[in-house]
Every structure is written in structure tokens, then in C-alpha cells.
């Protein structure tokens, strides 16, 4: 079946370090991926997206890498800050309508 999963459910880093959050997906037909950040009591916040015809995309302090060969997605956060502490979800989209399938989530904790 289709699934989007995360390798590490929790990640603790020191302020200023770089963070890498990983995601595996099983459906090779997925053609669009999004990373979301969700803080406690809030809705998911769009961070960055990538289409399957790309390998890498960069935003402000964030980079998403897509490896279609092994069906792996990662989010890199540079110079992690305490405000980056949240749950991070990857989501995939495939098919003719916009169903997003979310992974379990990774809890990122940034220590000052």
C-alpha cells in the first residue's frame, strides 16, 4: 500500500547545528512532496515543496533533497534555532486530485 514514513521520530540538536529530518515513501508514482512544520496547538505550516522532476530545492535556511532511486526525502535546516522546535511532517501527493498523505512526524527539539 502507499505510505510515507519517517526514520527518526525524535531529533535533538544544539542551537546553531544543522538538522536533517528524513522521510521514506513507498509509492513511486508520487510526484509532489511537501514539508510542513507544526507547532503545538497550531495547524501545519508550509515550509518547502519539491516536484519529482527535481533532486534538490533550497529555501531560506532549508533545503529539501529528493532521491527517487531509494524513495527518500530529507529536510535540512541550517543553523537551527530554538524557534525551529516543532513536529515536522513530510507529505506526498499523487494522482488526479490533491490528497496529501502524511508521514508520522519527527519531533525536533533545539536546545539553547
- Where do contacts with another protein occur on this chain (CB under 8 A)? 32, 34, 36, 42-46, 49, 89, 91, 93, 95-105
Minimum gap (Å) between residue 84 Cβ and another protein: 18
By the 8 A CB rule, do 89 and 44 touch? yes
The number of C-alpha atoms within 13 Å of 111 and in the hemisphere containing its C-beta is 4
Nearer to another protein, 2 or 15 (CB): 2
- Report angle CA 40, 2, 108 to the nearest 5 degrees: 25
- Measure the CA–CA gap between 110 and 112, rounded to whole angstroms: 7
Shortest separation between residue 14's beta carbon and another protein, angstroms: 26
Q: How far apart are CA 73 and CA 67, in angstroms?
A: 6
Residue 75 or 91: which CB sits closer to another protein?
91
Residue number, 17 or 62, with CB nearest to another protein? 62
Rounded to the nearest whole angstrom, what is the least distance from the CB of residue 26 to another protein in the complex?
A: 15
Instruction: State the nearest-atom distance from the C-beta of 8 to another protein, in Å.
Output: 15
Amino acid at each position: 500500500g502507499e505510505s510515507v514514513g519517517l526514520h527518526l521520530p525524535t531529533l535533538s540538536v544544539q542551537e546553531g547545528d544543522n538538522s536533517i529530518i528524513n522521510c521514506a515513501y513507498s509509492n513511486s508514482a508520487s510526484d509532489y512532496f511537501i514539508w510542513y512544520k507544526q507547532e503545538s496547538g497550531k495547524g501545519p505550516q508550509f515550509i518547502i515543496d519539491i516536484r519529482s522532476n527535481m533532486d534538490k530545492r533550497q529555501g531560506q535556511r532549508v533545503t529539501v533533497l529528493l532521491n527517487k532511486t531509494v524513495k527518500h526525502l530529507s529536510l535540512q535546516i541550517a543553523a537551527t534555532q530554538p524557534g525551529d522546535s516543532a513536529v515536522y511532517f513530510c507529505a506526498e501527493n499523487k494522482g488526479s486530485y490533491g490528497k496529501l498523505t502524511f508521514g508520522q512526524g519527527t519531533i525536533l527539539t533545539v536546545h539553547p
